[in-house]
Structure 1
Amino acid sequence: MSLLTGLMLRVFAVVAACLAGASAWTMVEANQSIRTELAATATRVQTEARSLAWREVMFRGNEGSQARLAFPEWRTANSLRIVGPGYCVTLEWNGDAPARVCGGDPGRKTGAAPEWFSNFNAALFGPIEPELRTVTSGRHEVGTIRAEADQAIVDWQAWRQVSVVVGVAGAMAVAIALLASFAIGHALRPAEVITRGLKKLEDGDLSVRLPSFAAREFAQVASAFNELSERLARSTEQRAAVTRRLFQVQEDERRSLARDLHDEFGQCLAATRALAAAVAVSSRDRPAVWDSAREIGVISEGMAATLRSTLARLRPPELDEIGLRPSLEHLVSGWNARTATATRRPTFRLEVSDDFDDLAAPTALAVYRIAQEGLTNAAKHGAPSLVRIRVARVSAPEPGVAVSVDDDGGGDASALSGGGTGHGLIGIRERVDALGGRFVAEASDLGGVRIAASLPLGAASAMAA
């Protein structure tokens, strides 16, 4: 769940709680006002009845506990005015039948409260008890008053008040929620910018910077993000410079070792082969010596072949002299010749879209090393029938060169996606990172493993520096 969605749910929960509180408060106020109005109606009728009884005593002289009032009819226009709609009052003079009058006409109601509201109102507040009053004249009680509320009309009045308040409050709450949603969304908009910046940083774009935000908290986050990006860029460049220097030292050591092996060990092997041949020629009449000399020559020839293979790995061809494409062709042809006598002979194929004569020496060397390591891995860790090397120019996301090695020998590409456990892949990945490129190890469309890298052309100047 997003932060905006969570905040909006909280806002709507607060709005719903406020509506529920407003509804409860309105119902309490409505029932309280009804009870207050019922008591006030009973008091007004009591006052009016006392006035009627006093006038009867004054003008007719009827007085005493057994006196009958000559005009007990109290339902005059003035009396009806003091009884509110929804309330009924019963006045009973001593010795007379009770007279009942109701304020308003229940038959003129414009509507009725829903049944669920009436039941809920009754369960919450209970029935409204009638109000009882006595009518006295002097020191004598001459009548009783019973004031009651019409429950249907009372429910309707309460429902009308609650619906009006809830309607107005609901409209205001919805408007407030919408405005709050807009305000919160606008306030959280920098979070999207920060998230995109973090995604770019995760993808390796260390040049990304966040703008300054109006909110102080987001501005602090942006400032910390920009400082982190700058430090990562500096540390990455320093690490890349150290890695480039290490690879340069490694290449120098390889050349030095290859020179020593060629000059010392190669010469010794050549001398051994010459001596073995001389011994074999001079010992034709001694079969045992001749066989030993011949065996020494065979072993020396095998050691020489191994030495040539080792020298080829330690010291690649002079790429700046013969070019990248001829060097790769020589590498592939060497692998095809090496596996010519194998039981299951794999085919090594090279696909190059250009001569790459203008490619800088560091980048060309990296392409050669990647192809070399890919061929070694395919032949060593799988059983391929086809190994394909592709080298092509790319223009997106920036001009560069792409190299890939695919095979159909099976294998688990997921084991290589994290960098692999072999030192060869780790070295290739570090070499590509040092040149500012991207390296992937994934499943191949041929049915095996694919090792691919893309190197920017601008990396050559950094390598040379």
Structure 2
Amino acid sequence: MRLLAHLILRLVGVVLLCLACAVGWIVWDAKNGIRAETEASAARVARDLSVLYWRQLLWRDGMEKAPLLPLPEWQAVQTLRVISPGICITLTSAVQGAKPLCSQVEGVGASPPAWFAGVYETAFGAHPSVSVPLTVRQLRAGTITAAPDPAAALRQVWGQVRIVTGIAAAMAAGIGLLAALLIGHAVMPARTIARALRRLEAGEFGPRLPAFATAEFRHIGRAVEDLAGRLARTTAERAALTKRLFQVQEEERRALARDLHDEFGQCLTATAALAAAIEAGAEPDRPDLATQARSVSRVTARMMGSLKEALSRLRSQDINELGLEASLAQLVSGWNARSRHLGQPRSVFRLDVAGNLAAVPAQAAVSVYRIAQECLTNAARHGRPRADGRPAEVRLTIEHAGAAEGGLRLTVEDEGGGDPARLDGTTGRGILGIRERIASLGGSLSIARAEHGLRIAAVIPLRGPRLVPAVAAAA
């Protein structure tokens, strides 16, 4: 989940919790208000009826020994005026039973829904009644009991909850919206930092982050910039080291090729001459010597062929002598000859050249040759004939598009099947060497699925590695 959505969901949860607490407090306050109104109504009625009681008692000159009622008509408009809406008053005396008197309940709010009534009764229960004596001087005179009407009490509570909750919900929605806008504005630098990290992942170290207003994001931005500078320096050092390693590798290959040619070549030539001399000088009665000499000659010829193939793979000075295009043509011809030598070739190699390859720098030409050599080796090693029995076609396409349009494009496409995901995630030295060579030149490599196999495409700039200038600028 995105950070903004996560924070907004938490904000909504906090708002709903606060709203629920506010509703609970409103209901509790409304219940206390109803209780206070009940007690006040009982006190007011007791005060008025007590005055009536003593007045009647004085009219009778205090001669009546039996308990007296205040007045037979105490349930009058004057009494209703002191009773709060929704409250019922009951007067109980020794000579007369309970006579309830309820105030008007029709105008006390709207009827609440059934679920609210159920929740309210379950959570808070029924409203208690309040009882007070008619007069504290003569407790046997009567008792006044005040109790809220249940339906009126629910209406009153629901009315307060509906009004206050509506206002609170509107305020909470406004506050939540403003808070969401502020949170969104506050976390916007995170997207900028994420894009900067993506650029770092892609190898772009130049762009700097803006100065953020928040101190925490400023610290993160400085850390990202420090990381970019260190990665830039590390990448530059790695590119320089990789170049040097490839140069040393080419020098070692040339030295090894020279030693093989001078030492093993002379030894194999001498062995072939000695075998021919033994075969020519063998006595007629020793035909076994001639046979063994011919076997030595055949083994020597095979070793000479293997030595020539090894020398052709090791030597890179042919690129400087013949040029990149001729060297690639020779490489493709060698693979076709080797494939035909097996009797049933599995692959047929083709070369397509576009543009002038003579303008390719020597260092890039050697790397391009080695990349093409490794790609053709992988295609020949892992390729297989097509389903109809025909040999799979391996096409090596190289295009010189000019430095302004990206430099040199090399594509190797085969029809031997294969999974690009497995090849792209492999840890073999072949693909790793290709990646290192292309990275040292500032190029890019892509491995994808072709129509019947795999396609390996490399783009190599001819103006030198692109990473080194960026590193210098960052440093």
- The alignment's TM-score, normalised by the length of structure 2, stands at 0.86
Where do residues 217-256 of structure 1 align in structure 2 (5 Å cutoff)? Answer: 217-256=216-255
Do the aligned partners of residues 44 and 322 (structure 1) sit closer, same or farther apart at CA in structure 2, a change above 3 Å counting? same
1:453 is the counterpart of 2:458: yes
Where do residues 415-454 of structure 1 align in structure 2 (5 Å cutoff)? Answer: 415-421=422-428, 423-447=429-453, 449-454=454-459
Query: What is the CA-CA distance between 1:156 and the residue it aligns to?
Result: 0.1
Residue of structure 2 in register with 1:210 after alignment: 209
Do the aligned partners of residues 69 and 410 (structure 1) sit closer, same or farther apart at CA in structure 2, a change above 3 Å counting? closer
Residue of structure 1 in register with 2:395 after alignment: 388
CA offsets per residue over residues 362-381 of structure 1, 9 Å max, x none? 11111111111122222234
Structure 2 Cα separation of the partners of residues 16 and 40 of structure 1? 36
Do the aligned partners of residues 276 and 17 (structure 1) sit closer, same or farther apart at CA in structure 2, a change above 3 Å counting? same
Structure 1 Cα separation of the partners of residues 334 and 226 of structure 2? 51
Contact map agreement 2:87 2:149 (CA 8 A) in 1: yes
Structure 1 Cα separation of the partners of residues 306 and 11 of structure 2? 77
Residue of structure 2 in register with 1:362 after alignment: 363
Residue identity over aligned pairs, in percent, reads: 42
Residue of structure 2 in register with 1:51 after alignment: 51
Query: What is the CA-CA distance between 1:251 and the residue it aligns to?
Result: 0.9
Do the aligned partners of residues 305 and 286 (structure 1) sit closer, same or farther apart at CA in structure 2, a change above 3 Å counting? farther
Contact map agreement 1:86 1:150 (CA 8 A) in 2: yes
Contact map agreement 1:383 1:409 (CA 8 A) in 2: yes
* 3-state SS of paired residue (2:74): coil
Do the aligned partners of residues 269 and 102 (structure 1) sit closer, same or farther apart at CA in structure 2, a change above 3 Å counting? same
Residue of 384, 401, 413 corresponding to 2:408: 401
Do the aligned partners of residues 397 and 173 (structure 1) sit closer, same or farther apart at CA in structure 2, a change above 3 Å counting? farther
Query: What is the CA-CA distance between 1:78 and the residue it aligns to?
Result: 3.4
Do the aligned partners of residues 139 and 331 (structure 1) sit closer, same or farther apart at CA in structure 2, a change above 3 Å counting? closer
Do the aligned partners of residues 331 and 410 (structure 1) sit closer, same or farther apart at CA in structure 2, a change above 3 Å counting? same
Count, aligned residues: 460
Residue of structure 1 in register with 2:142 after alignment: 143
CA offsets per residue over residues 376-424 of structure 1, 9 Å max, x none? 2222344342222122356999713222323233445444323443x33
Where do residues 113-152 of structure 1 align in structure 2 (5 Å cutoff)? Answer: 113-136=112-135, 139=138, 141-152=140-151
AA aligned opposite 2:364: T
Query: What is the CA-CA distance between 1:349 and the residue it aligns to?
Result: 1.0
Structure 2 Cα separation of the partners of residues 376 and 441 of structure 1? 16
- The alignment's TM-score, normalised by the length of structure 1, stands at 0.88
AA aligned opposite 1:121: Y
Q: Which range moves more in the overlay, 5-14 or 259-268?
A: 259-268
Residue of structure 2 in register with 1:327 after alignment: 327
AA aligned opposite 2:354: S
Where do residues 6-25 of structure 1 align in structure 2 (5 Å cutoff)? Answer: 6-25=6-25
Query: What is the CA-CA distance between 1:290 and the residue it aligns to?
Result: 5.0
AA aligned opposite 2:53: A
Structure 2 unaligned spans of 5+: 386-390, 469-475
Residue of structure 1 in register with 2:473 after alignment: none
Structure 2 Cα separation of the partners of residues 300 and 137 of structure 1? 138
Tell me which of the two structures has the higher relative contact order, counting C-alpha pairs closer than 8 angstroms and 6 or more residues apart: 2
* 3-state SS of paired residue (1:459): coil
Structure 2 Cα separation of the partners of residues 228 and 417 of structure 1? 27
Contact map agreement 1:113 1:152 (CA 8 A) in 2: no
Query: What is the CA-CA distance between 1:231 and the residue it aligns to?
Result: 0.7
Structure 2 Cα separation of the partners of residues 210 and 140 of structure 1? 87
Structure 2 Cα separation of the partners of residues 137 and 435 of structure 1? 108
Residue of structure 2 in register with 1:27 after alignment: 27
